[in-house]
Amino acid sequence: MGTNAAPEKLSHFLPSDVAGRLRLLSAKERLSKSSIIETALRHLFVDHPGPDTQAILKRFGATLRRMR
Q: Is residue 36 part of a domain?
A: yes
Q: Above 60 in pLDDT, residue 68? A: no
Condensed to tens digits (0 to 9), the pLDDT of residues 40-64 reads 999 888 887 778 888 888 898 888 8
pLDDT of residue 17: 95
Q: Is residue 32 part of a domain?
A: yes
Q: Is residue 28 part of a domain?
A: yes
Q: How many domains does the chain have?
A: 1
Q: What is the DSSP string of 39-68?
A: HHHHHHHHHS-THHHHHHHHHTT-------
Q: Above 60 in pLDDT, residue 25? A: yes
